[in-house]
Structure 1
Amino acid sequence: MKIPTLEDNRVKLTLLGMSNYKNLLEIAQEPNLVQYSPSKIDTPEDLKDYVQTAVDGYYNRTTIPFIIFDKQANAFAGCTRFGLINWKNKVLHIGWTWIGRDFQGTGLNKHMKFLMLQYAFETLKFDKVEFRVDERNIRSRKAVEKLGAKLEGVLRKDTLMLDGFKRSTCCYGILKEEWEELKKTI
């Protein structure tokens, strides 16, 4: 699978791997950065394991993980990925996204999500992109809704969190037929 570099004037997304993940060590240690995620990334070992899981998924053709470079700040900002890629049904998820506090609210996320949606619909020719968000994560839910994704339902108590809490997950989607109109507004 050929990995694209997704890039515009603001952001550059390149393949995340064992050779570049150390650029994220400092950001990954920010307190509560992934508080709504069942993943642990705040120690060098945890981050390495997290990235190894993403890389394994890449080799199994179920994920495409990216490291995020903010061109405006001239700095690595975090990571994101395509995941749960279903090549037969042409459906994938965008998620596993975390960016450092200094990059939040700057418009960076909007740029990278646009590039990812554009690639999913226009290059991969997928029929649907999904987002899964912890029901309590209002900020991320609003960001996904701002992209034009529609709430399709809530999976009740479906994910075990690190602290033992069972979260409910909001399922959002964008269909290929909606993309042409949506991309004018993102």
Structure 2
Amino acid sequence: MIVPTLENNRVKLSLLDLSNYEHLLSIAQQKDLIYYSPSDISTPDKLRNYVQVAVDGYYHKTIIPFIVYDKEKQAYAGSTRFGLINWKNKILHIGWTWIAHEFQGTKLNANMKFLMLQYAFETLEFEKVEFRIDERNQKSRRAVEKLGATLEGILRKDTVMKDGFRRSTCCYGILKEEWPTIKSTIFKNF
């Protein structure tokens, strides 16, 4: 599987692997960066394990992990990925996204998501992109809703968090036939 570099004037998404994940070590240490995630990246070993899982998924063609580089600030900002890739049914998830606090609210995430949605629908020709978000994570939910994703339902108490809490997960989706309208309205300046 050939992984593209997804890039525009603002952001560059390139393959995340064990050769470049160290750029994310200081970011991963930020307090409450992935509070709503069941993953743990709080130490160098835990971050390496997190990346190793993504690399393994890449070799099994179920994950495409990216390291995020902010071209405007000329700095690495975090990570995101395509996951749970179902090649037969042409559905994938965008998620596992975390960017340093100083990059949040700067439109970096919107640029990332635009490139990923464009690649999923226009290059891979997938039928649907899904997002899974902790019901309590209002900030991420609003961000995905701004992208034009539709709340399709809530999986009740389906994921065990690091502290043992059972979260409920909001399931959002964008269909291939919705993409042209979303691209021309929400992303019209990209």
CA distance in 2, matches of 1:145, 1:183: 14
Aligned twin of 2:77? 77
Instruction: Give the CA deviation at 1:6.
Output: 0.2
Aligned twin of 1:30? 30
CA distance in 2, matches of 1:32, 1:49: 19
Instruction: Give the CA deviation at 1:115.
Output: 0.1
Task: Give the residue type in structure 1 aligned to 2:121.
Answer: F
Normalising by structure 2, we get a TM-score of 0.98
CA distance in 2, matches of 1:72, 1:161: 34
Aligned twin of 2:138? 138
Aligned twin of 1:62? 62
Deviation track 1:61-92 (CA, whole Å, cap 9, x = no partner) reads: 00000000000000000000000000000000
Overall identity of the aligned pairs, in % = 70
Structure 1 regions of 5+ residues with no counterpart?
Answer: none
- Runs of 4+ more than 6 Å apart: none
Aligned pairs for 1:107-186 (under 5 A) are 107-184=107-184, 185-186=186-187
Question: Is 1:95 matched with 2:100?
Answer: no
Structure 2 regions of 5+ residues with no counterpart?
Answer: none
The count of aligned residue pairs is 186
CA RMSD of aligned residues (A): 0.3
Instruction: Give the CA deviation at 1:24.
Output: 0.1
Instruction: Give the CA deviation at 1:167.
Output: 0.1
Normalising by structure 1, we get a TM-score of 1.00
